[in-house]
Amino acid sequence: MMTKKKWAVASSLALSSMLVLAACNDEENETTTPEEDGGSTEENADVGADFGTDTTNAEDAIEGGTLKVALVAESPFQGIFSWTLYEDGYDADIMEFSTNAIFETDGDFLATNDGIASMEVDEEAKVVTIKIREDVKWSDGEPLKIEDLMLPYEIIGHADYTGVRYDADFKNIVGAEEYNAGTAETISGIKKVDETTMTIEVKEISPALASIGAGIWGYAEPSHILKDIPVAELVENDAVRVNPVTLGPFKINKIVPGESVEFVKNEHYWKGEPKLDSVVLKVVSASSIAVAMQNGEYDLAKGFSATAYDQIETLENIEILSREELYYSYLGFKLGKFDTTAGKVVMDDSMKMANKDLRKAMGYALNIEEVSDVYYYGLRSRANSFIPPVFSSFHNPDLPGYTYDPDKAIELLDAAGYVDTDGDGLREDPNGQPLEIKLATMAGDDIAEQITQFWLQNWADVGLNVTLATGRSIEFNAFYDKVQADDPEIDIFMGAWGTGTNPSPMGLYSNDAPFNFSRFATDESQELLVAIDSPEAFDADFRAEKLLAWEELMAEEAPVIPMNNRLELEPVNKRVKNYSIDYTTDLGLEDVELTAEEPIK
């Protein structure tokens, strides 16, 4: 139970910024609807294809009303309502109602000029210019100032800031390190030009700037409120916890800590007054959510798990929306070590998994299709690439990936010299030594345990003796501890990444990335990775081409084999109108309406 939640936290840290960015978007890029591309097309039983991203309710709406939202979570939310300070994915889900990112994004999650702010990158001068609209107001009626955009940088860069966001990306801003060290009063690279314009000078130009990365921050903080609060005390201050001033369609009215939040509409919302009067959000446990939806207790369920699909499948009073998640799970092979003193990945040819045919065979042996079908109702599908299908310009649906093909696996193993020499039904390695491969998996719910058993069986079917490292699936924290420390007990491991809105694989697969857990790094792959993030890669075609080349290399070398992409489900009561979870939708939360006084039962 808990481990599931923790994983949600891990992935939604990256996810959540995207969720809000995508919440309200303008006309262009209607051409790409994520559901239709790649990945899932090979699956016949893909129920996900039956669902839309928008509600279909066309009845007449009532005046105002209260939207009842369930936040599916096993533990209370933390209640840090500031994008600069929050850490928990649940807080991000809550802030979705009360905040508004300052940039809008397109289908590839690149910033457009339609939001509260617009951005221009001067590649020569390495300067990003950010301009804000006039007449945007905070929920307390104060006008939005350019200082409000500068404040988050001053908080994140501050020596007393304890969050994870003061990172390599942030240090890309000129003067950030000096400010953090206390040798400078301000961040020298950030300058106010006039009342609506600021500039940010960066050290390196990268295409990630357009994904609102590489140091650029996508949210504003109300400087008229927070300015005088010391950074160290911010996170416990009422201005963050109890009555945050926000830019979104709704503002927080009342909070029961950890349990529920009541929002009322923000009449100062820059896109116009929301149609609903209020929103009530409550934490609901995963086990009760299906019944609660059935009983008409809630209008929406955020964070609904696909494995519970069978519980809502037949409900008459709800409509199920779905969209692709920025997520892939993978099977990784340990091919070396991380040299912590040099900060480099060092490959080692003597590792048990160093034979690439063995790795490929292990990929072909997995019957991911059947698992997706039976346990995930087709809501997860075999991933063919490291770029989730959502990134329409970068995801390549034509990559073959590794599909279930035990015969091919057997063939590969035979050819590579992995044969059964002692007649126990299990293959020995090419030197005739017994081969025991140790798999590390994360502990999850009971379904996850059964799936792990199923994988072991799959491998046993092609004659490979795979056992669980430590004898059981490993609890989330310990799993990442061991995998990152290159524990010698682990030969292969199964993990997952929430990819965030920047499709660059650099942080996960480069030769100096500690998160390059498989410890695979060749000159060839490094070159491609550098090219993917080079200034030339502002050209999307160039970037896509390099990405493809890199993906083909990864498929050939198979240091990591992508396993699943997944769809996110959101059950919505049929009284809800104009609600959409499409990443590129025009509909915002301010447009949501209700067509009945109470949720339909």
**Window 50 to 69, contacts with other proteins (CB under 8 A):** none
Binding residue (CB under 8 A) for other proteins from 152, 500, 571, 588: 500
95 vs 198, which CB is nearer to other proteins?
A: 95
**Subset of 74-93 contacting other proteins (CB under 8 A):** 74-76, 78-80, 85, 87-88
Inter-residue contact 19 to 324 (CB < 8 Å): no
CB under 8 Å to 106, separation ≥6 — which residues? 25, 28, 29, 112, 584
CB under 8 Å to 522, separation ≥6 — which residues? 347, 557
Inter-residue contact 133 to 117 (CB < 8 Å): yes
CB under 8 Å to 431, separation ≥6 — which residues? none
Residue 177 binds other proteins (CB under 8 A): no
Binding residue (CB under 8 A) for other proteins from 295, 424, 432, 488: 295
- Count of alpha carbons within 13 angstroms of residue 398, beta-carbon side: 4
5 vs 334, which CB is nearer to other proteins?
A: 5
| 3-state secondary structure at position 225 | helix
125 vs 242, which CB is nearer to other proteins?
A: 242
How far from 135 is each of 100, 267, 269, 488, CA to CA, in Å?
15, 13, 10, 60
User: Of 6-14, 98-106, 193-201, 356-364, which part binds other proteins (CB under 8 A)?
Assistant: 6-14
Sign of CA dihedral 588, 569, 302, 328: negative
Binding residue (CB under 8 A) for other proteins from 56, 113, 193, 285: 285
Binding residue (CB under 8 A) for other proteins from 346, 472, 488, 527: 472
With b for 16 or more beta-carbon neighbours within 10 A and e for fewer, the 509-547 pattern comes to bbbebeebbbbbbeeebbebbebbbbeebeeeeebbebb
Report the distance separating Cα 135 and Cα 272, nearest Å.
Answer: 12
Radius of gyration of the chain measured on its C-alpha atoms:
25
342 C-beta neighbours (distance < 10 Å), count: 9
Binding residue (CB under 8 A) for other proteins from 258, 272, 432, 434: 258
**Subset of 106-165 contacting other proteins (CB under 8 A):** 162, 164
CB of 471 to other proteins, least distance (A): 6
Binding residue (CB under 8 A) for other proteins from 13, 301, 532, 563: 13
CB of 509 to other proteins, least distance (A): 10
Q: Total residues contacting other proteins (rule CB under 8 A)?
A: 86
127 vs 239, which CB is nearer to other proteins?
A: 239
Binding residue (CB under 8 A) for other proteins from 125, 291, 346, 415: 291
Binding residue (CB under 8 A) for other proteins from 25, 40, 381, 499: 499
Sign of CA dihedral 321, 324, 325, 329: positive
User: Of 27-35, 256-264, 398-406, 567-575, which part binds other proteins (CB under 8 A)?
Assistant: 256-264
- Count of alpha carbons within 13 angstroms of residue 433, beta-carbon side: 5
87 vs 140, which CB is nearer to other proteins?
A: 87
28 C-beta neighbours (distance < 10 Å), count: 11
Residue 454 binds other proteins (CB under 8 A): yes
Closest CA to 302 of 94, 496, 81, 13: 94
Residue 193 binds other proteins (CB under 8 A): no
Residue 10 binds other proteins (CB under 8 A): yes
Report the distance separating Cα 394 and Cα 210, nearest Å.
Answer: 15
205 vs 442, which CB is nearer to other proteins?
A: 442
CB of 496 to other proteins, least distance (A): 11
**Subset of 506-525 contacting other proteins (CB under 8 A):** 507-508, 514-515
User: Of 36-44, 49-57, 220-228, 368-376, which part binds other proteins (CB under 8 A)?
Assistant: 368-376
Binding residue (CB under 8 A) for other proteins from 1, 242, 346, 415: 1
**Subset of 311-340 contacting other proteins (CB under 8 A):** 311
Number of residues in the chain: 601
CB of 392 to other proteins, least distance (A): 20
430 vs 514, which CB is nearer to other proteins?
A: 514
Report the distance separating Cα 514 and Cα 343, nearest Å.
Answer: 8
Report the distance separating Cα 147 and Cα 198, nearest Å.
Answer: 9
**Subset of 476-495 contacting other proteins (CB under 8 A):** 476-478, 480-482
Residue 404 binds other proteins (CB under 8 A): no
Report the distance separating Cα 348 and Cα 88, nearest Å.
Answer: 37
User: Of 189-197, 399-407, 424-432, 472-480, which part binds other proteins (CB under 8 A)?
Assistant: 472-480
Residue 467 binds other proteins (CB under 8 A): no
CB under 8 Å to 541, separation ≥6 — which residues? none
Closest CA to 237 of 247, 246, 226, 245: 226
**Subset of 408-447 contacting other proteins (CB under 8 A):** 443, 446-447
266 vs 580, which CB is nearer to other proteins?
A: 266
Binding residue (CB under 8 A) for other proteins from 25, 57, 84, 502: 502
Residue 450 binds other proteins (CB under 8 A): yes
User: Of 72-80, 111-119, 189-197, 527-535, which part binds other proteins (CB under 8 A)?
Assistant: 72-80
Beta strand pairing call for 117-122 and 127-132: antiparallel
**Subset of 369-398 contacting other proteins (CB under 8 A):** 370-371, 373-375
Report the distance separating Cα 569 and Cα 600, nearest Å.
Answer: 19
